Amino acid sequence: MAERTRPDPALRRMLVPLALAQFICSFAGSNMNVMINDITEDLDTTVQGVQTAITIFLLVMAALMIPGGKLTDRWGRKRCFTVGLAVYGVGALLSAASPGLGLLIVGNSILEGVGTAMLIPPVYILTTLLFTDTTSRARAFGAISGMGGIGAAMGPLIGGVITSAISWRASFVFQAMVIAVILVLARHLRDPLPAQPSHRPDTTGAVLSAVGLVLVVMGILAADDDLRLMLVLLVLGAAVLAWFFLHVRARERAGEEPLLSASLFRNRVSNLGLVTQHVQWLMLLGTSFVVSAFLQVVRGYGAVQTGVIFTAATAGLLIASLLAGRMAKRRSQRTLIIAGFLVTIPGIALLLVLVGETSSPWAFVPGLFVIGLGLGTMLTPSVNVVQSAFPEDQQGAISGLSRSVSNLGSSVGTALAGTILVAHLVHRNYLAAMVVIGVAGLAGLVAAWMLPRSAAPVVSGTGTASLDTPTRMDTT
């Protein structure tokens, strides 16, 4: 049985910059949602333009997260983390000074996206390497995942307050300030493994995976403009991704290291866990964009009013995070993931039913609260299921894949549901977008239900954890 001891103070101090980094990256994925009206007016653009900037940011993260995970082997985890923070900080400052949508996309969507793809894989790899027993590792993952969920949920509130009090540009200055704090805190972060400068990256695989993902999401974005273009992009994306998997198999047969080992996709438990992660972030970011855009563009509410309404989701996530440790000691990871979906899906139903009955903005509050509660219940177990399914020598690869799948869910959620909404900004399209998110939630529930009730223990460094074994995952 794993030791139930708390990590020493030095380890807990190292966890702070890692958790804070996940917070600010998740915050960046949702805080622009409450700035839609302000950005469109200031930069003379459209709601679709802002949606494109948000989606490209999430897509760049998804496309580069796997190469970012592999880069940690060549550069070292700490170096990738600090360089990623620096790139992100430059992007945030550039976004704050952008005179038009083009430079905002360069700063926010490209540079912040690249920085995030470099710094997030080290967060999860270092956590796995530094916290060596199952209990402390689960607790650390709980803190990081909880901060990620809270960052995504609090993005609209903090962004709304800053936008209303100062300007939408100040929100990017705030991000740069947080990055500076993380860089200071990360000075004493240590990397347990040496870098491997001779490690040769799979450049072809990185390009193929990135291009394939970009084509798929751009195809979704093109749905409201040209259905034929959408189909062409989706088919091309699928073809490039198929080429990527053929490339992986060819490199492995030749005895060369591919971007991702095919063995990562042969673990049934991990595959199902990745599906649940993808759907969770699709629901969170999809709901955030759709509700934010509807409140501002259709209902005419300001940034701070929209942000205040989203405190309901934040409250739900915080409550679930505070209860995470207690729930994880009593319930298996599979049970918590299923319960999360069983709570979140009715929350979406509340957003459909109550919003249709009244024009009051408070009609959004019950649904958002329930969605936050459900997502907060299952975010950490899904991460733990995937990360713990592989030994330490594969943590770089699975961490990159896990974060890529999650961010792909975020970009697909924003692109898919957002495209349905912005095609015609009316109540009917809001309902259609939320129905799509609800259907995705049902698919996630099916994947969670397919997780085996009694599986062989999954590898977790020096310890093991079964899906049916309650695992302590404090988020404090």
Burial of 221 (0-12, 13-18, 19+ CB in 10 A): buried
Q: Which whole number is the average pLDDT over 78-84? A: 92
pLDDT tens digits, 172-220: 999 999 999 999 998 888 888 777 776 677 888 888 988 888 888 888 7
Q: How far apart are CA 87 and CA 84, in angstroms?
A: 5
Phi-psi region of 300 (alpha: psi -120 to 50; beta: other; left: phi over 0): left
Report how far apart the first and last C-alpha atoms of the chain are (Å, whole number): 22
pLDDT for residue 134 is more than 70: no
Q: How far apart are CA 295 and CA 297, in angstroms?
A: 6
283 in any annotated domain: yes
Judged by DSSP in three states, 181 sits in helix
476 in any annotated domain: no
Q: Which whole number is the average pLDDT over 51-56? A: 82
Among the candidates 241, 258, 275, a domain finishes at 258
pLDDT tens digits, 147-173: 877 787 778 888 888 988 899 999 999
Q: How far apart are CA 19 and CA 57, in angstroms?
A: 20
457 vs 410 pLDDT, higher one: 410
Residue 52 sits in the same domain as residue 65: yes
Residue 69 sits in the same domain as residue 172: yes
For the chain, percent helix, then strand, then coil, each to nearest 5? Answer: 80, 0, 20
**pLDDT classification of 98: cutoffs 50, 70, 90:** very high
Residue 297 sits in the same domain as residue 239: no
Judged by DSSP in three states, 458 sits in strand
pLDDT for residue 424 is more than 70: no
Residue 13 sits in the same domain as residue 97: yes
Q: Which whole number is the average pLDDT over 440-445? A: 93
Residue 136: which domain range? Answer: 9-191+259-461
Looking at the DSSP bridge assignments, the partners of residue 460 are: 463
Looking at the DSSP bridge assignments, the partners of residue 458 are: 465
Among the candidates 233, 258, 283, a domain finishes at 258
The pLDDT value given to residue 151:
81
Burial of 400 (0-12, 13-18, 19+ CB in 10 A): buried
The pLDDT value given to residue 371:
93
pLDDT for residue 400 is more than 80: no
Residue 121 sits in the same domain as residue 139: yes
Q: Report the percent of the chain where pLDDT is more than 70.
A: 87
Nearest to 216 by CA among 63, 77, 320: 63
307 in any annotated domain: yes
Residue 22 sits in the same domain as residue 139: yes
Q: Which whole number is the average pLDDT over 393-411? A: 75
pLDDT for residue 7 is more than 60: no
The pLDDT value given to residue 20:
93
| CB atoms closer than 10 angstroms to residue 100 | 12
Q: What is the pTM of this model?
A: 0.76
Residue 128 sits in the same domain as residue 180: yes
Q: Which two tokens stand for residue 332?
A: 């298996």
pLDDT for residue 423 is more than 80: no
148 in any annotated domain: yes
Looking at the DSSP bridge assignments, the partners of residue 464 are: 459
**pLDDT classification of 37: cutoffs 50, 70, 90:** confident
230 vs 475 pLDDT, higher one: 230
Residue 206 sits in the same domain as residue 112: no
**pLDDT classification of 246: cutoffs 50, 70, 90:** very high
277 in any annotated domain: yes
Q: Residue length, the chain?
A: 476
Residue 388 sits in the same domain as residue 419: yes
What Cα–Cα distance (Å) separates residue 311 from each residue in 20, 45, 293, 304?
20, 28, 16, 11
User: Which range is least confidently modeled, 60-69, 247-256, 335-344, 450-459?
Assistant: 450-459
pLDDT for residue 434 is more than 50: yes
User: Which range is least confidently modeled, 130-139, 248-257, 335-344, 381-390?
Assistant: 130-139
Q: Which whole number is the average pLDDT over 253-263? A: 82
Residue 172 sits in the same domain as residue 264: yes
Among the candidates 258, 275, 297, a domain finishes at 258
197 in any annotated domain: no
17 in any annotated domain: yes
pLDDT for residue 471 is more than 70: no
Residue 353 sits in the same domain as residue 451: yes
The pLDDT value given to residue 460:
38
467 in any annotated domain: no
The pLDDT value given to residue 115:
93
144 vs 139 pLDDT, higher one: 144
Q: Domain holding 367: CATH number?
A: 1.20.1250.20
Structural domain count, the chain: 2
Q: Which whole number is the average pLDDT over 21-34? A: 84
Burial 418-450 (b: 16+ CB within 10 A, else e): bbbbbeeeeeebbbbbbebbbebbeebbebbee
Residue 359 sits in the same domain as residue 429: yes
